[in-house]
Amino acid sequence: MGKKDKEIRDITDLPGIGPNSAQKLIENGYTSIEAIAVATPHELSQVTGIPLPTAQKIIQAAREALEIRFKTAKELKMERMNVRKITTGSKALDELLGGGIETRTITEFFGEFGSGKTQVCHQLSVNVQLPEDQGGLEAKAVYIDTEGTFRWERIEQMAKGVGLDPDTVMENIYWIRAINSHHQMAIVDQLFDMLKRENIKLVVVDSVTSHFRAEFPGRENLAMRQQLLNRHLHQLGRLAEIYNVAVVITNQVMARPNVFYGDPTTAVGGHVMYHAPGVRIQLKKSRGNKRIARVVDAPHLPEGEAVFAVTEWGIRDAE
Ligand code: GTP
Ligand code: MG
């Protein structure tokens, strides 16, 4: 992050925010400049009681502090050159993804239960720790678990599978259980600080949608759910961009095509209706331990499918 003449380090440094408004913002979960930069003027105004134009100015100041601004094509090229990749454990899947999971990007794995989303997240948390010549980034992982399906036993097994010391690998994964959607977003706010201090190159949110769906069920809550989910995805996108980390999210969708009538979050094609930049991969069960991955709406990646396997030692190429 760039430094300005007058450094803006937390929300109280923003022009137009007095102690009272600051207090209200913090109580409502807007604890960081990032959180304010991605808020809407309407939200801020509702929370603090400040007039809309002031809210607009505050958001603008937060964006400037974060240097959300025009970039030159050359800068984009340089940023692109900083993108790094993490191997999935399967050559076929890596190839489908153009070499692996990318930093600076949100990668979504969606699919029905048992399709391997959580297994892929576990594997990536291990693989990010590998040396670069083996497809890793020699870095740590954060695992935000919303469903309680994280298993250290599985990490231990996968670490052995790639020849890393299991205890070291487990020390390098920071796990947290998100208890509701509000908590889930507050955790990501905290990550903006944590990633300054720690060599973390992967942030997993497994699953990104479950709390939002449970707390805002049905069509009548769809607008609210989408608004919050969008804010969450913006947060994650900023995190990926600012710290050059890979963000991996999962999203359970039903396999039966008629189900989307019952659940308005799933669109035709089976994904959540939002537009976050990134890569979307659909996972499908196949015979035995085989799984099929397909890249969805990614113009920069070739169309096609990859078959991989979930083995005792983790994600591998199918035999
Ligand atoms: P939901 O979270 O329910 O939507 O499913 P998911 O897509 O996250 O599925 P998950 O990644 O949990 O995949 C579960 C499948 O992985 C199981 O059905 C097994 O086939 C496989 N699996 C999970 N743990 C192990 C293990 O320890 N050994 C082996 N060999 N396979 C495992
Ligand atoms: Mg799962």
Whether residue 238 contacts residue 38, with contact meaning beta carbons closer than 8 Å, is answered with yes
Mutate which of 149, 154, 310 for ligand 1 pocket (most atoms within 8 A of beta carbon): 310
Higher-pLDDT residue of 69, 235:
235
Query: How confident is residue 255, by pLDDT bands cut at 50, 70 and 90?
Result: low
What is the atom index within ligand 1 of the atom nearest the CA of 121? 11
Query: For 186-196, how does the pLDDT look when each residue is reduced to its tens digit (9 = 90+)?
Result: 999 999 989 98
Residues 143 and 202: beta-carbon distance below 8 Å: no
Q: What is the average per-residue pLDDT within 281-299?
A: 91
**Ligand 1 atom closest to the CA of 111, numbered from 1:** 7
Say which amino acid occupies 167. D
Answer whether residue 73 shows pLDDT above 90.
Answer: yes
How remote is the CA of residue 137 from the centroid of ligand 2, in Å? 24
pLDDT band per the 50, 70, 90 thresholds, residue 6: low
pLDDT greater at residue 296 or residue 294: 294
Using the atom order of ligand 1, give the atom closest to the CA of residue 289.
20
3-state helix, strand, coil in the chain (%, to 5): 45, 20, 35
The ligand that comes nearest to the alpha carbon of residue 251 is 1
Contact present, 13 and 66 (Cβ < 8 Å): no
Band of residue 50 on the pLDDT scale cut at 50, 70, 90: confident
For the segment 286-302, the average pLDDT, to the nearest whole number, is 88
- Structure confidence at residue 32 (pLDDT): 78
Which residue has a Cα nearest atom 18 of ligand 1? 114
Instruction: Answer whether residue 38 shows pLDDT above 90.
Output: no
- The pLDDT-based confidence of 7 (bands split at 50, 70, 90) is low
pTM over 0.75: yes
Q: Is pLDDT at 218 greater than 50 in this prediction?
A: yes
Q: Which distant-in-sequence residues (6+ apart) come within 8 Å of 247 by Cβ?
A: 105, 106, 107, 202, 203, 204, 205, 236, 237, 239, 240, 278
- pLDDT over 70 (residue 298): yes
HSE (CB half, 13 Å, CA atoms) of 1? Answer: 22
* Interval between CA 93 and ligand 1 midpoint (Å): 17
**Percentage with pLDDT > 90 across the chain:** 55
Band of pLDDT at residue 66, cut at 50, 70 and 90: confident
CA distance 136 to 127: 5
Task: Label residue 223 by pLDDT band (50, 70, 90).
Answer: confident
Domains in the chain, CATH or no CATH each? 2-65 (1.10.150.20), 80-317 (3.40.50.300)
* 286 preceded by a cis bond (ω within 30 of 0): no
pLDDT tens digit string along 126-156?
999 999 999 999 999 999 999 999 999 999 9
Residue of 191 and 262 predicted with greater confidence = 191
Whether pLDDT at 240 is above 60: yes
28 CA from centroid of ligand 2 (Å): 30
222 CA to centre of own chain: 21
Residue with tokens 């659909």: 282
Tell how far the Cα of 133 is from the centroid of ligand 1, in angstroms: 28
Q: How confident is the model at residue 68 (pLDDT cuts 50, 70, 90)?
A: low
* Mode of pairing for the β-strands spanning 173-177 and 200-206: unpaired
| Distance set, CA 271 to CA 119, 135, 160, 251 (Å) | 19, 29, 34, 8
Highest mean pLDDT among 51-55, 90-94, 279-283: 90-94
**Separation between Cα atoms, residue 305 and residue 319, nearest integer Å:** 16
Contact 290, 119 (CB under 8 A): no
Nearest to 191 by CA among 178, 209, 210: 178
User: Is-contact 4 65, C-beta < 8 A?
Assistant: yes
Q: Give distance in angstroms: CA of 126 to centre of ligand 2.
A: 17
For a pocket test of ligand 1, which of 119, 121, 283 has the largest count of ligand atoms closer than 8 A to its C-beta? 119
Q: At which residue do the structure tokens 């137009």 appear?
A: 16
In this prediction, residue 2 has a pLDDT band, given cuts at 50, 70 and 90, of very low
Tokens of 283: 């996972």
CA atoms within 13 A on the CB side of 122: 25
Best probe residue, ligand 1, of 88, 109, 118 (max atoms within 8 Å of C-beta): 118
Tell me if 32 sits within 8 A of 191, measured CB to CB: no
**Ligand number with the minimum distance to the CA of 310:** 1
Res 277 pLDDT > 90: no
Evaluate if residue 118 carries a pLDDT over 70.
Answer: yes
The conformation of residue 127, written as its DSSP 8-state character, comes to H
Instruction: Say whether pLDDT at 75 is over 70.
Output: yes
Q: Where are the alpha helices (DSSP H) in the chain?
A: 19-27, 33-37, 41-48, 52-65, 73-81, 91-96, 117-127, 152-161, 166-171, 181-197, 210-215, 222-243
> Can you give the pLDDT at residue 169?
98
Measured from the alpha carbon of residue 110, the closest ligand is 1
- Taking the CA of 152 as reference, the closest ligand is 1
Residue among 126, 118, 103 at smallest CA distance from 195: 103
Per-residue confidence (pLDDT) for residue 3, from 0 to 100: 38
